[in-house]
Structure formats: C-alpha cells, structure tokens
Structure 1
Amino acid sequence: MGKGLFISKTVGVVCVVLAAGAVATIIALSVVYSQEKSKNADVEPTSGGTSTAQPTAQPTEPPSNEPWDKYRLPDSLEPEFYTLTLWPRLQKNTDGLYVFTGKSTVRFRCKKETNLILIHSNKLELSLLDNQLARLSAVSDPSPPRIQKSWLQQETQYLVLQLTDVLKADQIYELYTEFQGELADDLGGFYRSVYTEDGVEKVIATTQMQPTDARKAFPCFDEPAMKAIFNITLIHDQNTVALSNSNVLDEFNTTEEGIDVTKTTFHPTERMSTYLLAFIVCEFDFENRMEGDVMIRIFARKKAIEAGQAEYALNKTGPILKFFEEYYNSSYPLEKSDQIALPDFNAGAMENWGLITYRETALLYDPAVSSNGNKERIATIIAHELAHMWFGNLVTLKWWNDLWLNEGFASYVEYLGADYAEPTWNVKDLIVLGDMHRVFAIDALASSHPLSSKEEDIQKPAEIAELFDAISYSKGACVLRMLSNFLTEPIFLKGLQSYLNAFAFGNTVYTDLWDHLQAAVDSSGMALPNNKKVHDIMNPWILQMGFPVVTIDTSSGTLTQKHFLLDPESTPSDFIWDVPIQWMKTGDEKPYTWLHQKEELNDQMRITAEEWLVANVNVTGYYRVNYDDKNWDNLLNQLNQISRKLPFFQTFYVIVFNHNFSNSRANIVPTTRALQTTSYLSKERNYMAWESALDNLDYFYLMFDRSEIYGLLQAYTRRQVTPLFNYFKTITDTWTKDPDGHTEQYNEVNALRMACSSGLTECNELVQNWYKEWMTSPDSNPIRPNLRSTVYCSAIAAGGEEEWNFGWQRLKEAAIAIEADKLRAALACTTKPWLLNRYLEFTLNATQIRKQDATSTIVYIANNVVGQPLAWDFVRTNWQYIFQEYGGGSFSFANLINGVTKRFSTPFDLKQLEQFKEENANIGFGSGTLAVEQSIERTKANIAWVNKNREVVKSWLESELSY
C-alpha cells in the first residue's frame, strides 16, 4: 500500500503557518493506508455525524482453546479458486441502507483430515441453506460429510462449520454461501463512495481489502498465504461500468429480480491473495494508452477526465512500468494496468493487482492548481504501487509480521521509479529527508519496535493494522537501501531477480530474500567483512528495534557504537549492529570500513588540526554519527567553504544539521553546538540545507511556542530567513514565476513560509494582499500553485471569519481534491478559537469533512498552537465515538494520537495523557495502542529536555540577537 499522506510513503507535505502565535509545522502523513471501522449505532458523536447499525452476529463465547477462538486459520484446508457474484445496490433500500448481495463458491483441498471448516466472514448476513449458513459439496470425495452445526464467531470473524464426519486428506470440496452486506461508508471491505457531479449525487461501490477486510465482502480464507484464483462477476446498473483485477470476459444486459441490469464477468485472476482483490462499480470515464502489450487506463470522475487531470499519471505510468520490468528482469505479469482515483479512500493508494486504487490527490494533476510537491507525490506513489505488482503481488509474504519487507521495499524503489520518470528532479536524494529522518524520530524511542515480529505476536486485525507505520515503510526502505549500497546494486539486483523468479505466485518469509542475496554475493566472488553472511549482517537490523549512534574520536581513531535513544533517562540496550561506514577525509572518499563491536580502532580516521572527517557520506547507512569536539569544529567551519561541485555537498548539510540536533536532544552534544549550525543559514540558498535546518528547528518551536523564548526564536529565524526571502523575490521577478529546478521550487516555499511565520512584515502584507485579491475575484486566483498552501494559511491566520468562510466556500467548490486539501489544511491555521472549535465539530459530520479526511483535519488543528488544546479536549471528549469510527483497524489512527500530543512538554501534559490512557482502557486504543505509549515516552523526554535547555536556549538566542 502506498504511503499516504501516503502517506505515505511522503511525500505529501502540508505547511501550516501561523502569522500570529505559532510557527510552521511540517506534517508528513504516513502514507498510511487502511480501512476504517464500521459505524456503531450505540455510539453517538457529541454533535453531527450519522450512525449505521451493525449486522447481528453470534455472541462471542468466553475465550477457549477451540480453533474458532484462535485468530489464525488452521492448516487443514487450502483454497484453489473462488467463483463469486456480487450485486451492489447504488440506491437505498426500504430501510434506508445501501446494500450488496452475493453468492460465492470456494473450491478447496483438504490437506489434513478435519471435521471443522473455518472461513473468515465479518459483518455479512448469511442466508440459511438447508438450515445451515453454507452448503458443502464434494468434487472428488464420493461420500462427503454434512454440516451439523454452523454459526458466526464474532470476535475472531469466522463462519464456523462443524461436520458430521471428517473431510479426507487430498480430497477436493466446495463450499457455497449466499449473503448480504451493507455497502457502508466505512472505507473498508466493499464500501460506498459518494460525490456530486452536475448537481447530482453519484454513488460508487468500491473496495479496500488490505489487510483483513476481504471477509467483509464475501466469506473467504482471508490470509495472505491462502492464495487462490478468483472468478468475479458483477451485476450492476446499466449506466455504470464494472472493473476488477482482470479484463472483462463477458458482458451483457439482462433482468434480475425485475430490474434491468448489466452482468459483467471477468477473466480468472492469477493466483493471488485475498487482500489484493478489487471490484468497483461506478460512472467514471478513463484515458488509456498501450505500453507494449499492456493496456494502461486511468479512471476518474468524468469532469476530472474532461479537464485532463489524468494525463500526467497516464504519461508517467508507462515509463515507470517499463523501468520496473527492467529492474526486476521480469515482464509485467498482467494484460492491463488500471488505476482509479476515488473520492473517498482512506489510504494513499492500494496495490490491488491490475486495479490500483488511489485517493484523488495521489493520482490527479492539474498544472493550474497542483504544486510541484503534488506532482512529485503522484509520481512516487504511482512508482510505489507499480513496484508492488512484482514485490508483494507476484511474490507475497506469508504473514503480516513481515509486512516491513513488502512496504519497505516499495518505499525504497519508489524513488528509483520516480527518478526514471522525472530524471531532472534528482528525487533519489530526497529519501533522506522524506523517510530516514522521519523514522529516526520514532525509532529513537524505547517504545519503538523491530521491523519483523514473531508470527505468533501478530494475530488480531488491530495488531496487523498497527504494523502499517513509519517503521515498516520508512525504516524498511532505509535498511534495504543500506543493504543495496554495501552489496552494490548489481549484486543486490541479481539476488532480487533470483528471489522473484523462484517464488513467483507463491509466498515467502524475509529470510528467503537473504538466501538469494547471499547466493548472488557468492557467485560474484565478493567477500563480506569478517566472512559474515547476509543473514549475519542484516538480522540485527531487522530483529532489534532502534539504531546505533556511531562515535568517532579522530584523535585516537576509536569508533564506538551504542543504542541511540532520545530520552537520556531511558536505559540503552546492549544491542550491537554490523555498521557499514562510508567515509571521507578532507574531501577524499575512502573505502568502506565496518564497525562490528562496541569499540574498534581505525588509525586511518585520525586527523590533523587542519583536516576533517565525515562518515555516512551519502547518508546510506541507517545510523547517526557523533564526533569529538575538534572534528565537529572543523566540520562547522566547512559549512561556508565546502565546494558545491562535490557530489556529496547536499548530504553534507544533512549530516551536520541532523546529527548535531538529534545528538543534542539525546544529550550527546551540547544544544548550543546544534544551534551554532544555523548561524550560517543567512548565507545559504541550498534546499537540503534549509530543509534539514527547519526540520530540526521545528522541535524548538514545538517546545517553546508557549513560552517567552518564542519571541526570541521568531526574531532569530526572521533574521536568518530574510536573505533567502529576498533571494527568491529577485529570481522570481517579485514572485511572478517559478524558480528553475525541482528543489529550488521547494526552497522558495520554505523562504515564504518561514518569512511569514516569523513575522516579516513584507511577507505577511504580500500574502494577505494576494488572498484579498482572490476574495475580490473568486474566479481568478492570483496565487501560484506552489505557494498556495503557505499563502492560504498565512492569510487565514491573519484574518477573521470572513477570510475563513471564503476559504471554506472555495473548499466546497474545489474541482480537484488537491486544491481542496490545501484549503482544508489552511483553515486549521486560524487563530480564532471559536472557528477552530466549529471546524473540529465538522470532522464528526461526513457531509462537511469526508471520513477519509477527519483524523488528518484534527491533526492540522492540533498543529496550530491555538488549536492544540482544543483538539486535545475534542479527542478526549469524543474518544468513544472516534475510536469506534477509526480505532480498531485504521492506520491513520496512530497519526491522530501522535499529532494531538507531540507538543506535550509539561508535567501537566503528561498527567493528562496518562489519565487519558487510564480512563479509556476499557474502550481501548486499537491500532493506536503503541502510539499512546510512544506519546507518553516522548512527553517525558520533552519535559526533561525543556527543563535542561530552557535557559541555555534563551541565553544563546539573546547572545546571537545582541549583534
């Protein structure tokens, strides 16, 4: 699944700038990707919203050792193929509900004798067949048993069938069911999406199965290792189009139950997992193009297709598909590649084989509205999903505990695919900012978790959903990038291609990839250090949480490593990693060296007074670095002197900024040393340098924007950013054109964002005038797309109800979701509490804020220093309702908890958070359980850091501003 927003995985960055009261906060929504829990009629919001009753199920028996009380399927049955017919009703029935009906036959082989059939079924009303909930027949057994008893086990989501006799080993049987389900707006399973076109409300029936919601669409063996072939038929209104994973086999008009319908049957799928199934009924249009033997189609609302919003995706899909065919040395395994933009979709995108689903913001592009960042996000998410067509779909992990390999790999190679499609962007460098430093902040907590868990530790749907986090996506990407780098790409690719060829249409565990990479190493003649194997080097990175900080003493040449933890009061583990160190001395790049033990000596790493040394040169290693004072001083001196012709000059800034700031937060280096790295920024124009600095300064704003230090921080930031503001003013002809270069355009946004948020009068007058000009002529927006997020936010923050209402109206009328998203984020920037409270209430009403956007809107409000306490109170007050809507299985839910608590830095904050955990223990936290623990740990670390550094930071800023 794609990173959402992609999150992630974000590549979508939303700037929240407050002209009064707070500074910008950059939010990267992890391309998190999932389904939301169905509504419950017993839980009501404080205001707004709607509720839908749940299907009735058998009451759960007390926990037992019975097979139906276990969350994993027994290994006695193996599906071969399904024949499935579904009929979604796109109009309400007499009860006011949208429903779908279905019939399913699954043919399965009995592997071990058993008198029990367990098959997943959740929130489906099953019809009685011969007084049972299913009908069993035999294909090869002449005397099949009968069903003696059948029921639905709600907790473990099974249809349970007890038989009169045993199913015989190696015999083939078929199980037939008829059922009805609600086509709810819960964004999971088979659900409905709604939009308005030409004043008419249109309903879409669509799917999101990953990870455990195929069982909401039909009874199935809903585990990734239970691969099968699927024969899909959709019955649908005659004015609609039906889509599924395969091409259409047959389509004709007919009558069902007295209603004129179309019946569309699709070719059998390849052998695949249930979570990759997709079927959609809609009134969309499409653009198409052949790429070799593959038909590429981009589906979207008819108005979006007419406006040409699918053209960019269509133009880039072919080249990216071609790139991955060459990268994997394997032809695309299907005849078509459909991609569809959905108005309601909780994830960023989903890699359904042959029918990839996206949020509209992740697929549709309009150069008149979409920013440079929007375009990059579309390219990288398309690359992420197409990478999965082989890695994940063709070869699938056996169980969700190895999710990291699936999502981490796609999150790594998305940069390679996007770089091929847009070679002038140099997008491969951005993984350091987009993934590595994002995940460092989480993996530096004692409450982090390893990439791979034990299979038995991941059982429940909520536990599975919790794995779709930054660790799996971003750390997975960074660790695999490190592996590719030290093996070299030719060897990495040889092993990868061998792995895909060996396990095509099958399932694996992550160590299978290590085996094939080791074989590639052996055949190349390459020797890994200390004669170790790939397994030996990589397993500590996979099975241990966290990462090391490597300290290099350039006086003695001593290298040491220890577990890096942000909270200095946390007890570091005794973990040891094999650390590949790519390094350079005074501009001269050296061969790799390795750190295997806690402490080792490398005499070559000693330096003279004039020399400097930098390790992890291209930031390919997943670790932080610290140095002795002499080398730090020499490195800081290089910030003004380093040649921009050197290939590593951009990452040099990243190393110096991020390692200094992060090490200071962990009490490894003094905070003043970290702040010193920002002193030269007034002379700097490089994006990587500015982005690294601002990303780290953001923490200072979060900790001090409610204190007297905020004014000093604003004055200092304003002084440093003003030259950058003036630079872009000049090269853009007073803000009338985009700068040349991909990252130059990003840095223009940084200049405007920080100049306005730090109180530069010229900047604030500029953006307010642009917004007022737009308010005067709503049909003619004078603001360039790249600058809109910043301008909207700054102007709304400086304005009042009139500016807010104008933005709200423009959001409701936006013809493209990308523009609506910018306005949705900007509306959270107002400093008027009553407007923010009204906006919070809108998140409980899907007619105001779409359900897919509810949690991120609350987080936007919490990013605002004025809105943070309002959002926190709102979440606590509505916890039961919010949890019921999003908690059990939504990947966005952890983002909500982290987002509303990340500013916490006082004992009072901590007490409230711990009380929140205690008071809601009976309700639970679902997929946000770990996020609660991480928020508590982060708050404790923040308290300690602020207590230690408040006066230090204040004194340093006062000293800097005195001259």
Structure 2
Amino acid sequence: MMSSDPSETPAISQNKYRLPKNVKPLHYDLTFWTDLESLKFGGFVTVDLDILEETSAIVLNCSDDLKLADASVHCATLDAGQLQSAQIVADKELGRASLNFPAALPAGSKAQVKLSYSAMLRGSMNGYYKSAWQRDGKTEYYALTHFQPTDARAAFPCWDEPQLKATFGITMISRAETVNISNMPAESEVLYDPTSTRDANLATLLSTLPKKDDQWKLTKFQKTPLMSSYLVAFANGPFAHLETKVVMPLSGRTVPLRVYATPDIIHQAEFCLEVTAKVLPLYEKIFEIEYPLPKLDTLAANDFDMGAMENWGLITGRTSAFMMDPKKPNILARKSIAGTQSHEVAHMWFGNITTMEWWDYLYLNEGFATLMGEAIVLGEFARVFPEWKVDSAFVANHVHHAMVLDAKRSSHPIEVECPDANFINQIFDGLSYSKAASVLRMLSEYIGEERFLKGVSGYLKKHLYANSVTRDLWDGISAASGEDIIGFPLITVTETSSGIHVRQDRYLNDGTPNADENETIWNIPLAILTVDEGGQAHVDKTAILEEREKILAIDTSRTFKLNAGTTSFYRVSYTPERLSKIAAEATKEGSVFSLSDRIGLLLRCFGTVQGRIDPGQQSPHLGRHLAERNESQVTLLSIPLALPIGQRYLDLVWVSALNSLAGVIRPFEDHRQINDSLRAFTRTLFVPIVQRFGYDFPEGESVDIVELRKTAIQGAVVGRDESVTQELRSRFTDYLKTGDKTRIPSDIAKPIFQTAARYGGREEFEAILKIAEDPTDTYRSSAIRNIGCTEDLGLMKELFSYILTKARDQDVVGFCLGLEANPLARRILVEFFQDNYDHNKDTTRYSMALAQSLETIRARITYIERSRDDLSDWLTKNTTVDALVDSTDLVYAYDWKTLIATYFAAFVTPTVMSAIDIFCIINLHHKERIRSWT
C-alpha cells in the first residue's frame, strides 16, 4: 500500500496550467451558508498546508465567481506564530488567486491559510449551482454541486487538481426547514443559537446571514478520507429520501443507503435503491477492499449537466439516470438505471480510493467503470441481471460505438494529454468510455476475467488513497501495454497451404489511410476459434499479432474465426469464400459461435462496406488482397445469416439490424426514390413482427419479447407504416382526451411521441412540450427527444425559440438531437446555429467533437457519391423488394437459400448488400419461428 505521506507523493509536473509545487494541502475546514431565497452562498475555508519549499506566495485555484473578502496565513514556526494578512491577486484566465504576504514561510513548516468569500449560486450546472423544481405550481430552488473536472474552485478556494488529495471537514449552514447532505454522514445538527456560539469566526459569519431573524441550522459532517477536490459534494434543499441497509461481506458493517430527491418524485427511486443494495457488497467482495465510508447516498437532480457523477459517498445525477415510475415498468429505464448506478458505485473504489494522477488518465476511471459497471457485475459473472445478456449488449453498444468514433482521423488516444482546463471536458467522450472499456475487456478476456480482477484488486491495494498512471494498472494486471494508440486495426486474413496469413493496417471509415496514418503496429490478441474433429470449439488466447504480418498454422479445412466472442478491438476482413462459410456455421442450431460472435458479424457488415479500402493507398500485397475483396463483397449478404436461431436471443440481433439499416436510410433521405424504397423494405421486415406481438406489455413477459416488440414497433415507424402509425396516433389521442397514459406503455413512448409529433398539429405539440417541461414525468426524456419530429414549419420555429429562451440547459442537446433526426428540420437547424453563432463561436471547449462531426459529414458525402447510382439502379431493376412489400405471405413462402442465390446474381453494390438484402434474409429465416412463439 502506498503511504499517504506527502514526501512520497510523485512530483507534480510544472507547466502553465498546473499549480506550483511549493505547498501541499493536507486538510480543509469548509464552513459556508446557503440561502435558497436570495440564491447566494458564502463562508470561509481554512486549509492546513505542508510548506515544501520556502515561499512568500501561495497560489491556489479560485473562480472569478467567488468574491474573496480577506485572506490570511498563519505559520507557527515564525516569530510568535505570526498571523499575516495576504494580498490577493486574481488570474481570471487560469482560475487562480495568488496570496502574497511579507514574511516567507520556511520549507518543512506547517501553515494554515484562511479565506472568506461569497458568491451567487450558478445556473450553469457546475460548481455550486441552483436547480429548479415546482411545488404547488410555484418555482422553487435547491442547490447542489458538480465539480468534475475543475469546478470545485467555483464553490470554495482550493487546490483543484486530482493529485493534491486532502481530507475535508464540512459544516453547512442553512434554513432550518431544508436538508443538508454531503460526502460523509452528519456528525451533528443543531439550530443556531447566537448566545451559545463560541467560535468567533462562526459568530461573525452567522451575523451576516440574510434575514438573520429567520431560523438557521448548522450541520457538521464527519471528516472525509483523503480525496481529490473534484469528488467533494454537498447539497441543500427540501429533499425527501428512501432508505435501505446492506451488510458488507468483508467488514460485516451495516451500511445505510439512501436515494434523495424532491418529495414529488422520491417514490420513483425504488429500483435505483435496489440496484445500489445489490452491487455495493459485490464490489467489496470483488476488489477485496472494504468500502471505506459509513454510508452511500444518491441525489437525483432536475438539472444536471452529465448523466451522473461518482462523488464519494454522494452520487449525483439527472432524474432520468436514477428515477423510474414503479407503476410503469420500463425495461430500457431499468437497464439504464442499473448500468448508471453500477458504473458510479464502481468508482467508489476505482477512481475515488485510487485516483488518476491527472486528467490524461481519465480513461482509467471511466473505461474501467464502464466495463465493470455495465458488463461484468450486471452479467453472468455476478448474476445481478443475467437475463439481460449484458456482454453481448456491450458488443452491440460500446464496442460498436467506439469503432464508429475511432475510425475517424479526428480520433484521439484513450490516454491523451490535457494541459488546458478547456480541453479536459472534451475527453469525456466515447473513446474514454467505450473504447477504453473495450480495450480493458479485451485484456480481461486475454488473461481471464478472474486473473484480471485479481490484478485490479492488487492495483487498488497498492495505491490506496493515492494517485496512479497507466503503467500502474498495467503492472497490476501484468499486462505489457501502455502505447499511445489512436485508431484500431483491420486484420486481413488470407488462407495459405499451411494455415493463414494475417496482416494489420489502420482502419478508417473512409477507407484510405495514407502512409503516415498507417505506421502504428498494435499488439493484438487474435483469439482464434477453431473446431476439432469432434466438432468441439477451442479458442487460442495465446496467439498475438505483434508485427505487421505473420503466418499462423491452423487447419483451414475446418471452421475457424478470429476474435472469438468479439472480445478484441479490431475488424477482420476474410476472403469471400471464408465469410460465406462463417455465415453458414453461424446459422446452425448449436453453432460454435456465441451470440456476441453473431452480433459482431452483423455490426461489422455496415462498417466494413462504408470503410472500403482503396487498394491504391496500400502496400502491393494489401492492395491486391483488398482489391479482390472489394470486387467480391457480395458475400456480405451472408452475414445476417449469423443471427441467432430461436426466440431467446433474437431481440439484440434485431436491434443491431435496425441500427445498421437506419445507417443506410439516413444518408439517402434527400433522394426520394431511394428513400421510399428503403422505407418500404424496412416495413417488410418489422411490420409482421408488430402484427404478431402487438403493442401491449403483459406483466411477467420475458425481457427478450419486450425488447423485440419495442424494436419492431420502432422499425415500423422508421418504415412509416400506415397501420402502425394509426395505432400509435390513436393511443396518443386517447391521452389527449383523458390525460391517462395507460395506453402509452413506457417502453414504446418514443415511437408514440415521434408519431404524434410528426403527424399531429398544435394540440399534440403542446401536449408533448408540457410533458417535456415536467421534471416529475418519467416520459420526459422521450418527449424531449421526439418533439422535434414535427413537420409543421411554424411549430418547428416555435421549438427553436423555446430552446433558445426557455429550455433547461441540460435539455438543449436532447431537443437538438430530435430536430437533427428530422430531415425537414435539419437545414433549419443549421440556419438556427448560424443565426446564433455568436453564442457558440468559441470552439475551444468542443473542438474535438466539431472535428469528428465534420469528418462524419465528409465521409457520408463520399459514401453517397460512391453508392447512390448503384443503389438507385438496383432498387429500380430488382422486383423482389416490390414483391416482398406487396405480400407478407410471399415473404413466408420464399425459400431463403434460393433467395440468397437470386440476390448474389442480382447484386450491384455492397451498399445494398450490407443493409437491404441482408435484412430480407433475416426476415425470411426467422418469420416462422416468430409465428410459433405464442
């Protein structure tokens, strides 16, 4: 275990954006008041310091929001323990204040700095800010914190860097009728009595309180362990709570768990509390380290910038991250809440006990919590929710999302230098979460999950209450990595007389890496699945590709596949013949391929086609090899045959199918003929499933059927099916008449709101907007994301005005995403951005996301230009699609093997094959099974 002795703390690097290393904070006493009527706060902070170098100036972080009243420093080693007043010099650009004083503090001494301050509660969802809620029709406020990454300085002067850990003693002063919560439990809580206050500093502070005749109370919290400033948290408001308790497996302690929210929505916290009670003891057991705090609280806030935040002992987040109406079960909400809360609880160890040294290593926190919280703990390993198939869902969501982002030139390494505070927020993206988690999952699969978690436990134990860098984690799990990697490889596989020839090159979504972009050599666990004479599958986890290319000896006369279980972070390009054989094996009952294998095959389909490689940009060997594949990619038709057979796993595959098909529809929305044909095909796939399973969700129904019904209804909406549209509109019409949402099951609220907004008028628009404005309504997120589907130009303009003037800050992105998904609104959205450019023209805080978006647009343009004519020609000439649209019975009658041969002959472009023909075969091959399920 690393000592917390400051002399053993690694040196802090010096640059413009980092604080000087002449002092180190040891302990903060933070005393402050909050007035929810004036929306102000203030107080004083006293910090105990180690003086590491002689200095007559102390520099700390302080936002210009804080009005510093006075500052002083006391050092016992100076004559008579001299108290010196300090001159305050602010640096607004860097968010700092320099305290200059006449007598230098000697190295090796102890000192104490005290600063008084006051400020307004922010409205920006960072620092110490206000959140609005409605009580009896009146808007009221409560206050809470969000400090990650660099906003503790906006609530109190501090050393706001993760490496500068300290302990914190917090005292909150508030109106007597409100509730105070913080990282630690309350040690005492008393009403303010002016006659009994002995602390002169406190008496002075209390004498300045607004409306001092009102009743105030003092809540003193227990001292925290050593922690980084961004993990400090506190809140004040009219909170109610639900509570349970758990007995921890190592310590045997009983730990109380609470979820706080405003009284109007607290009943929606039951499931969040249940998840917390399930996973907290599991983590203690897995990490073999006792949970160090006496309690764990969660606060659901109406206004919150991120999804959720892992403040130690006081998790905070959006209401949608934690709350669900218990009377309206929603599988999507359950999965989201469980994944979010399990993710944040994982941070109580990984991130909070052991913290990254600097924000360069953010992925250590977020990648691990994503893998641990959303896959390992919720799935088969701990069997919290094994029926959710979370490992396969991880492939469909995180692995796929990471590859989409990482296939861009504007990608960045998972470990990325973050000198400037403006840059830090940009790396809270899919690469720091999804790619980092995918890489860690690859490592876990390579060495084995049990050994992986043992290594993580060792890493945490070695760095308890300290900070770490990448190498520390790799050392902990005995992994040889640590490269600064951008992107991921495409592995091309060519069969030889003695085995297979494999080669690695960087994969890009436009398919043309130049020489400079193709220099990286990855260490790639190949995870080769082979089958023996008895038909048993074996996975060779020792096979590593550490160079550009190599030959591996395997028997190619039998089934084989690289990246077994889709555990590694790379794409594979096989010969057309091998791809057909893989697809054939994947369709068999009792196939050697897992669900994750099959989903991976399906998701690779669209990506591989969009990322076709130009042979002229590659080496002669690779160019010749890939030229053959570009000419023969009709074999991508075979990939959908890798869908799982039977009821149990079909839901995830249909989700992947719909997402891939939507990826083809979107680029061609402005091409009427193509778009109409694509939507007709989509109807062919999904409407029969809707007809089979209907629109209601009986209690006790399996998760798989729930998910399949949801996906089918959404697919029918994408296809603009008239019968489904009428049914969904009628359900919303019933709500307009009665105010009762009984006929709007929460699992299909999204397509219902989407349809009501698209085909309705003002009445529907205003009803959806009313739901979107109500923080107590569990349908709120669906309303926000789908009201932008309106096709009424006047209502569209009203929505833009609403976004600019009335929408909560946290909801602006949701509204805009809904509009961006509407082809009629998209150009107006661009004009709206241009008209309001002055509000956004400083791109320093989102330059990476901007670069990724621009690259996506360019890649989509290339894709359209390359495929438009072929796609249009194919849709015009091929009559099979028309037949499929005209007759569902004809769909059932087709023999899918015959149809494959027909499509091979008719195929013109891989674009069509990857998303149209493929899904037809999915449909044909499983319709009869779907019919027989109930």
Shorter chain as normaliser: what TM range?
0.7 to 0.9
Matched, 1:576 2:537: no
- Cα deviations by residue, 1:719-769 (Å, 9 ceiling, x for unpaired): 22233333323xxxx645368332432221110111122132221121122
- For residue 596 of structure 1, the aligned residue among 531, 538, 546 is 546
Alpha carbons of structure 1 residues 622 and 647: separation in structure 2 relative to 1, 3 Å: same
Question: Which structure 1 segments of 5+ residues have no match?
Answer: 1-66, 93-97, 519-533, 884-922
Alpha carbons of structure 1 residues 811 and 448: separation in structure 2 relative to 1, 3 Å: closer
- For residue 282 of structure 1, the aligned residue among 214, 225, 237 is 237
Task: Give matches, 1:273-422, under 5 Å.
Answer: 273-292=228-247, 293-305=254-266, 308-415=267-374, 416-419=376-379, 420-422=383-385
Matched, 1:444 2:407: yes
- Structure 1 residue 834, shift from structure 2 partner: 2.0
Matched, 1:76 2:39: no
- Structure 1 residue 145, shift from structure 2 partner: 8.7
- Structure 1 residue 579, shift from structure 2 partner: 1.0
- Cα deviations by residue, 1:869-920 (Å, 9 ceiling, x for unpaired): 1222112221322x3xxxxxxxxxxxxxxxxxxxxxxxxxxxxxxxxxxxxx
- Structure 1 residue 445, shift from structure 2 partner: 0.6
Instruction: Tell me which residue corresponds to 1:606.
Output: 556
Amino acid at match of 2:147: M
Alpha carbons of structure 1 residues 962 and 309: separation in structure 2 relative to 1, 3 Å: closer
Amino acid at match of 2:872: K
Instruction: Tell me which residue corresponds to 1:236.
Output: 174
Counterparts of 2:439 and 2:175 in 1: how far apart (Å)?
A: 48
Amino acid at match of 1:591: D
Instruction: Tell me which residue corresponds to 1:108.
Output: 49
Residue 245 of structure 2 aligns to a residue whose secondary structure is strand
Residue 268 of structure 2 aligns to a residue whose secondary structure is coil
Instruction: Tell me which residue corresponds to 2:216.
Output: 261
Counterparts of 1:68 and 1:631 in 2: how far apart (Å)?
A: 55
- Cα deviations by residue, 1:399-428 (Å, 9 ceiling, x for unpaired): 000001111000100122333432322223
Counterparts of 1:192 and 1:71 in 2: how far apart (Å)?
A: 29
- Structure 1 residue 679, shift from structure 2 partner: 8.4
State the TM-score, normalizing by the size of structure 2. Answer: 0.84
Matched, 1:87 2:28: no
- Structure 1 residue 819, shift from structure 2 partner: 1.1
| Higher Rg | 2
Instruction: Tell me which residue corresponds to 1:510.
Output: 470
Counterparts of 2:595 and 2:693 in 1: how far apart (Å)?
A: 19
- For residue 631 of structure 1, the aligned residue among 578, 582, 597 is 578
Residue 291 of structure 2 aligns to a residue whose secondary structure is coil
Amino acid at match of 2:73: L
Counterparts of 2:561 and 2:688 in 1: how far apart (Å)?
A: 29
> Percent identical across equivalent pairs?
27
Instruction: Tell me which residue corresponds to 2:651.
Output: 687
Counterparts of 2:34 and 2:793 in 1: how far apart (Å)?
A: 43
- For residue 457 of structure 2, the aligned residue among 497, 505, 511 is 497
Question: Which structure 2 segments of 5+ residues have no match?
Answer: 1-12, 195-205, 248-253, 614-628, 884-934
**Counterpart contact for 1:89–1:100, Cα < 8 Å:** yes
Tell me the C-alpha RMSD between the 2 structures. 2.3
Alpha carbons of structure 1 residues 856 and 105: separation in structure 2 relative to 1, 3 Å: same
Alpha carbons of structure 1 residues 935 and 810: separation in structure 2 relative to 1, 3 Å: closer
Counterparts of 2:326 and 2:868 in 1: how far apart (Å)?
A: 45
- Structure 1 residue 633, shift from structure 2 partner: 2.0
Counterparts of 2:729 and 2:470 in 1: how far apart (Å)?
A: 53
- For residue 851 of structure 1, the aligned residue among 809, 812, 818 is 809
- For residue 132 of structure 2, the aligned residue among 170, 194, 200 is 194
Counterparts of 2:412 and 2:127 in 1: how far apart (Å)?
A: 28
**Counterpart contact for 2:275–2:342, Cα < 8 Å:** no
Alpha carbons of structure 1 residues 674 and 831: separation in structure 2 relative to 1, 3 Å: farther
- For residue 752 of structure 1, the aligned residue among 693, 713, 724 is 713
Instruction: Tell me which residue corresponds to 1:940.
Output: 858
Instruction: Tell me which residue corresponds to 1:927.
Output: 845
Instruction: Tell me which residue corresponds to 1:961.
Output: 881
- Structure 1 residue 660, shift from structure 2 partner: 2.2
**Counterpart contact for 2:227–2:352, Cα < 8 Å:** yes
Instruction: Tell me which residue corresponds to 1:618.
Output: 565
Matched, 1:210 2:148: yes
Matched, 1:949 2:867: yes
Matched, 1:879 2:822: no
Higher relative contact order, structure no. (Cα contacts within 8 Å, ≥ 6 residues apart): 1
Amino acid at match of 1:435: H
**Counterpart contact for 2:644–2:653, Cα < 8 Å:** no
Amino acid at match of 1:693: A
- Structure 1 residue 676, shift from structure 2 partner: 6.0
Amino acid at match of 2:791: T
Alpha carbons of structure 1 residues 148 and 652: separation in structure 2 relative to 1, 3 Å: closer
Counterparts of 1:945 and 1:310 in 2: how far apart (Å)?
A: 46
Instruction: Tell me which residue corresponds to 2:926.
Output: none
Matched, 1:270 2:188: no
Q: Number of residues paired by the alignment?
A: 812
**Counterpart contact for 1:309–1:366, Cα < 8 Å:** yes
**Counterpart contact for 1:342–1:358, Cα < 8 Å:** yes
Instruction: Tell me which residue corresponds to 1:717.
Output: 682
Residue 169 of structure 2 aligns to a residue whose secondary structure is strand
**Counterpart contact for 1:68–1:160, Cα < 8 Å:** no
Counterparts of 2:61 and 2:14 in 1: how far apart (Å)?
A: 10
- Structure 1 residue 632, shift from structure 2 partner: 1.4
- Cα deviations by residue, 1:181-213 (Å, 9 ceiling, x for unpaired): 110211010111110122233211110010000
Counterparts of 1:947 and 1:343 in 2: how far apart (Å)?
A: 45
- Structure 1 residue 283, shift from structure 2 partner: 0.6
Instruction: Tell me which residue corresponds to 2:896.
Output: none
Counterparts of 2:462 and 2:344 in 1: how far apart (Å)?
A: 22
- Structure 1 residue 859, shift from structure 2 partner: 1.7
Amino acid at match of 2:231: L
- Cα deviations by residue, 1:924-945 (Å, 9 ceiling, x for unpaired): 2122101222222222222222
Runs of 4+ in 1 over 6 A off after TM superposition: 679-685
Deviates more, 1:715-724 or 1:502-511: 715-724
Counterparts of 1:814 and 1:397 in 2: how far apart (Å)?
A: 35
- Cα deviations by residue, 1:645-698 (Å, 9 ceiling, x for unpaired): 457442233222222221111114556554664589899861232222222222
Instruction: Tell me which residue corresponds to 2:74.
Output: 137
- For residue 561 of structure 1, the aligned residue among 504, 508, 518 is 504
Counterparts of 2:773 and 2:416 in 1: how far apart (Å)?
A: 44
- Structure 1 residue 582, shift from structure 2 partner: 1.9
Residue 418 of structure 1 aligns to a residue whose secondary structure is coil
**Counterpart contact for 1:320–1:417, Cα < 8 Å:** yes
Alpha carbons of structure 1 residues 956 and 167: separation in structure 2 relative to 1, 3 Å: farther
Counterparts of 1:666 and 1:712 in 2: how far apart (Å)?
A: 24
Counterparts of 1:677 and 1:722 in 2: how far apart (Å)?
A: 22
Task: Give matches, 1:147-162, under 5 Å.
Answer: 149-162=87-100
Amino acid at match of 2:842: G
- Structure 1 residue 177, shift from structure 2 partner: 0.7
Instruction: Tell me which residue corresponds to 2:488.
Output: 547
Alpha carbons of structure 1 residues 578 and 680: separation in structure 2 relative to 1, 3 Å: closer
Alpha carbons of structure 1 residues 148 and 341: separation in structure 2 relative to 1, 3 Å: closer
Deviates more, 1:192-201 or 1:647-656: 647-656
Residue 70 of structure 1 aligns to a residue whose secondary structure is coil
**Counterpart contact for 2:23–2:49, Cα < 8 Å:** yes
- Structure 1 residue 627, shift from structure 2 partner: 0.2
**Counterpart contact for 2:66–2:156, Cα < 8 Å:** no
Deviates more, 1:342-351 or 1:869-878: 869-878
